[in-house]
Amino acid sequence: MITRSPALLQRPDREVRPLAIAASWQTQLSRAIRDPRELCRRLGLDDAWLPGAEAGHRLFEVRVPEAYLARIRPGDPNDPLLRQVLPLAAEGSPASGFVEDPLAEADHTPAPGLIHKYQGRVLLIASPACAVNCRYCFRRHFPYEENSPSRAQWQQTLDHLRGDASILEAILSGGDPLAASDRRLAWLVARLEAIPHLKRLRIHTRLPVVIPDRIDGALLDWLAATRLQRVMVLHINHPGEIDDAVVAACERLKQIGVTLLNQSVLLRGVNDDVDTLAALSERLFEAGVLPYYLHVLDPVAGAAHFDVPDDEARELVAGLREVLPGFLMPRLVREIPGEASKTPL
Ligand code: SF4
């Protein structure tokens, strides 16, 4: 059933003011809320939400930076931004078909921190950490401790890339790759660009959305300097996530020639209606970002309550096609383990 929600396209006039947004992104990252009690208190949620939040937190810890918290409507447990970060007791309920490694990534890890699933591109786990813990994350059970290479182990990964001339693109992922320091990222990118057959550097990240100050001079320096073509794929699910600071961060990236794309996950109670998805595409384009993918949920254990059935997803996209120009239409896809690419629905 597709619902339309006329009131959802604007963010609230009442916002939670951050206690203090520190100057550096590192400080903001270190001060992110990690206590479910604190999250409920800051947002004025009824005490009845606390036991569930604590139960969900025990399965996958809560993490919400202040800059993101400021965009959440206080006192509203159904706020679409809050739903993405608030742990719930439902995360502990088993659901048929929802598993710990829904994309079977463990079968495609030839070296620590390296996932090689698709022809022509590889994925590097550049950081095990994220700035925000999204409750629907398909890597919420990922064994990061086994995939956090030391510099010596990175050599193994770089050797793999050097030895396979069919690899044209290196994708930095995580966790969130931009949670790593600029020094570490600059070191890695310098080694990647020394591999002659590599053409592109793609970065999948949510950090410019949840802590826009991450796009600072130090990051822009190494990103502007590389010979590789640069693509950044943001991860934004709702138009209310794009505030002025996010737009400004996108502008800084555009100024150094980074191509900006966005991927979203279709999430029950967050963006499962035509108006929200249309507003998201419009807002992305205003920020200079092209909609790329709309993923159906990967069936990860703990996230079944976000699931939208395929038929409903197709119906939503048909409705979206009626109101958006073609270039603002994200492609509706599912990732199926073992397939050579994402599968269009
Ligand atoms: S930022 Fe990305 S990797 Fe990190 S928890 Fe959210 S969805 Fe998962």
Do 313 and 266 contact (CB within 8 A), yes or no? yes
Question: Domain 105-344: which topology?
Answer: TIM Barrel (3.20.20)
283 lines ligand 1 (CB under 6 A): no
Helix segments in 132-243, DSSP class H: 151-162, 182-193, 207-210, 217-225
Token pair recorded at residue 314: 């197709």
The reply to whether 250 sits in an annotated binding site is: no
Domain boundaries, the chain: 13-92, 105-344
Query: What is the predicted pLDDT for the residue at 109?
Result: 75
> Cα of 196 to ligand 1 centre, how many Å?
31
Query: What is the predicted pLDDT for the residue at 7?
Result: 38
> Cα of 129 to ligand 1 centre, how many Å?
9
Query: What is the predicted pLDDT for the residue at 175?
Result: 87
Query: What is the predicted pLDDT for the residue at 147?
Result: 65
Query: What is the predicted pLDDT for the residue at 1?
Result: 39
How long, in residues, is the chain? 345
Query: What is the predicted pLDDT for the residue at 106?
Result: 67
Calculate Rg over the CA atoms of the chain. Answer: 19
> Cα of 32 to ligand 1 centre, how many Å?
15
The reply to whether 40 sits in an annotated binding site is: no
Give me the tens of pLDDT residue by residue for the chain, a chain 345 residues long. Answer: 343 333 344 454 444 445 445 579 999 999 999 999 999 999 999 999 999 999 999 999 999 999 999 999 999 999 999 999 999 999 999 999 998 888 776 667 777 788 888 889 999 999 989 999 999 998 888 776 666 777 788 888 899 999 999 999 999 998 899 999 999 999 999 999 999 999 999 999 999 999 999 999 999 999 999 999 999 999 999 999 999 999 999 999 999 999 999 999 999 999 999 999 999 999 999 999 999 999 999 999 999 999 999 999 999 999 999 999 999 999 999 988 777 778 889
DSSP code at position 216: -
32 lines ligand 1 (CB under 6 A): no
Query: What is the predicted pLDDT for the residue at 103?
Result: 75
Q: Whose CA is nearest to atom 7 of ligand 1?
A: 137
> Cα of 203 to ligand 1 centre, how many Å?
13
0.85 exceeded by the pTM? yes
Atom of ligand 1 nearest to the CA of 265: 7
Do 316 and 268 contact (CB within 8 A), yes or no? no
123 lines ligand 1 (CB under 6 A): no
The reply to whether 137 sits in an annotated binding site is: yes
135 lines ligand 1 (CB under 6 A): no
Query: What is the predicted pLDDT for the residue at 195?
Result: 97
Query: What is the predicted pLDDT for the residue at 79?
Result: 98
Do 224 and 182 contact (CB within 8 A), yes or no? no
206 lines ligand 1 (CB under 6 A): yes
> Cα of 107 to ligand 1 centre, how many Å?
21
